[in-house]
């Protein structure tokens, strides 16, 4: 079904009507359902509608919290937005485990953002290189108006380099720039400056007497920030004497540590495992990035590229057992903001930041990376001991019991009954039927 031109100009109600009438067999019911997710306050709904285009309704996701996160000695209650069961429980378990062992430590390695003007030019490279110091001065001077505010906050343009990439593509060059954007993620700031750089570059080359007539034309391909920010990096870690890891159902502390170490090494060597291993880290990272109104696609893109920086996709986390100390760490590049964009517009993103004590971007970066590390620790701990399904199945059982409207007593009995049994929808239904018809266990 093709929409008429001008669809985007229709009111929300008319768009919704068009969709339900053309794509659903029961339009009235679907319209009612979609509308039931509208916010009861028109004013609030307008805010959500304006985040995107052609909005019909809101798509709900759970907003939960993981308490007891100790980061550099301070305790946080971390907001997480995620649809996958067990993620918040695992993050909380990881946080609690390390709370009793000194908590998480994190430091900022650097906060540089980056972007490029990609252009082609056919002339003598040496000439362009020789006038580049003048061009660089102009680029900085003539964007002063755009950078003035950021400079007041301690940020701005850090450096600009000319890159000769003609060995890759004929006539291909870059202006490769780095930026400090303080508490904002800085996407708009960087893109505006890069587009200005492109204009200045064109004029500079067209007017400079060093260039012959046939060298005066620069063709701008694009000017855009890079989401790969390897120098916007956090290092997070946990450590304790191996013996303080405690005993596990399956292992003592030392054999647990050894298995854990091997699990991380496997994710270093094996791409299949590395992908799942890192996905576990992103379970935690994305949930906090989303809760605080940041760009999870940018964070994902950057993290995965970083994981492949050696030429092979590998584990983002690492572990060492030197001097009888278990040390588990995560170096993670992450560009997030605590001002600007959705962070100030989404009412729940604002509350998330408030819950975290209105952190600076640097502090938020540290918290997020610690959550990623906690998530990875909790996943590996389960994997090398009980197996992941043990925890998942407990959640699965709860979901089935809720679905079947189990009472509190039925839930307690079922939890006991399925402790060492395989959980399936049918098994739980049959068990509930048996106790419901038997009537005995179900009486308080
Ligand atoms: C599931 O969402 C994430 C895990 O698969 C991560 C891992 O295997 O490390 C449990």
**Is 279 a residue of the active site?**
yes
Q: What CATH code would you report for 113-226?
A: 3.30.70.420
- β-bridge mates for residue 117, sequence order: 175, 223
**Is 392 a residue of the active site?**
yes
CATH 3.30.530.20 holds for 66-110+232-379: no
Q: Residue of the nearest CA to atom 4 in ligand 1?
A: 280
Contacts 24+ apart (CB under 8 A), 413-422: 413/441, 413/442, 418/393
Out of 183, 196, 286, 295, pick the active-site residue: 295
Q: What is the 3-state secondary structure (H, E, C) of 7-22?
A: HHHCCHHHHHHHHHHH
Indicate if ligand 1 lies below 6 Å from the C-beta of 432: no
Q: Residue of the nearest CA to atom 7 in ligand 1?
A: 277
Would you write out the chain's pLDDT as a tens digit for each of its 444 residues? 777 778 999 999 999 999 999 999 999 999 999 999 999 999 999 999 999 999 999 999 999 999 999 999 999 999 999 999 899 999 999 999 999 999 999 999 999 999 999 999 999 999 999 999 999 999 999 999 999 999 999 999 999 999 999 999 999 999 999 999 999 999 999 999 999 999 999 999 999 999 999 999 999 999 999 999 999 999 999 999 999 999 887 789 999 999 999 999 999 999 999 999 999 999 999 999 999 999 999 999 999 999 999 999 999 999 999 999 999 999 999 999 999 989 989 999 999 999 999 999 999 999 999 999 999 999 999 999 988 777 777 778 888 999 999 999 999 999 999 887 888 889 999 999 999 987 655 444
Q: Quote the ligand 1 centre to 393 CA distance (angstroms).
A: 14
Q: Which single residue is written with the structure tokens 């720039």? A: 177
Q: Ligand 1, residues 85, 270, 279, 373: which to mutate, most atoms within 8 A of Cβ? A: 279
Q: Residue of the nearest CA to atom 1 in ligand 1?
A: 280
Out of 21, 28, 33, 84, pick the active-site residue: 84
Q: Quote the ligand 1 centre to 379 CA distance (angstroms).
A: 6
Q: Residue of the nearest CA to atom 10 in ligand 1?
A: 379
Q: Ligand 1, residues 260, 266, 277, 384: which to mutate, most atoms within 8 A of Cβ? A: 277
Category of 261 on φ-ψ map: left (φ > 0), alpha (ψ -120 to 50) or beta: alpha
Give residue 442's pLDDT.
Answer: 46
Beta-sheet pairing, 156-164 with 172-180: antiparallel
């Amino acid at each position: 079904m093709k929409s008429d031109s001008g669809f985007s100009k229709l009111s929300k109600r008319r768009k919704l009507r068009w969709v339900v009438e053309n794509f659903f067999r029961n339009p009235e019911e679907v319209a009612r359902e979609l509308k039931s997710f509208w916010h009861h306050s028109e004013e609030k709904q307008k805010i959500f509608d304006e985040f995107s285009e052609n909005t019909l309704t809101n798509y709900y996701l759970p907003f939960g919290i993981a308490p007891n996160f100790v980061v550099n000695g301070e305790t946080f209650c971390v907001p997480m937005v995620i649809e996958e069961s067990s993620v918040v429980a695992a993050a909380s378990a990881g946080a609690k485990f390390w709370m009793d062992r000194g908590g998480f430590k994190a430091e900022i390695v650097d906060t540089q953002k980056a972007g490029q003007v990609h252009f082609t030019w056919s002339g003598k490279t040496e000439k362009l290189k020789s006038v580049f110091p003048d061009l660089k001065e102009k680029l900085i001077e003539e964007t002063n108006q755009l950078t003035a505010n950021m400079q007041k906050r301690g940020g701005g343009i850090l450096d600009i380099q000319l890159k000769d990439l003609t060995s890759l593509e004929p006539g291909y060059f870059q202006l490769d720039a780095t930026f400090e954007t303080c508490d904002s993620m800085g996407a708009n700031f960087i893109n505006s400056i890069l587009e200005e750089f492109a204009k200045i570059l064109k004029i500079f080359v067209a007017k400079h007497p060093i260039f012959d007539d046939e060298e005066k034309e620069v063709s701008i391909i694009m000017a855009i920030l890079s989401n790969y920010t390897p120098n916007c990096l956090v290092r997070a870690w946990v450590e304790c004497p191996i013996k303080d890891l405690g005993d596990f159902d399956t292992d003592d502390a030392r054999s647990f540590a050894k298995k854990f170490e091997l699990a991380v090494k496997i994710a270093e060597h094996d791409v299949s495992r590395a992908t799942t291993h890192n996905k576990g880290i992103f379970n935690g990272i994305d949930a906090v990035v989303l809760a605080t109104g940041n760009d999870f696609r940018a964070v994902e893109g950057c993290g995965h590229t970083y994981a492949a920086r050696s030429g092979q996709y590998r584990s983002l986390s690492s572990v060492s057992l030197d001097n009888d100390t278990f040390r588990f760490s995560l170096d993670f590049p992450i560009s997030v903001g605590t001002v600007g964009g959705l962070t100030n517009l989404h009412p729940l993103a604002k509350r998330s930041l408030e819950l975290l004590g209105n952190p600076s971007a640097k502090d938020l970066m540290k918290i997020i990376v610690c959550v990623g590390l906690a998530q990875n620790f909790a996943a590996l701990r389960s994997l090398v001991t009980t197996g992941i399904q043990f925890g998942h199945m407990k959640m699965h059982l709860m979901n089935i019991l809720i679905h079947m409207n189990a009472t509190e007593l039925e839930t307690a009995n079922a939890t006991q009954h399925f402790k060492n049994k395989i959980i399936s929808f049918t098994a739980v239904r049959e068990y509930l039927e048996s106790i419901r018809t038997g009537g005995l266990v179900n009486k308080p």
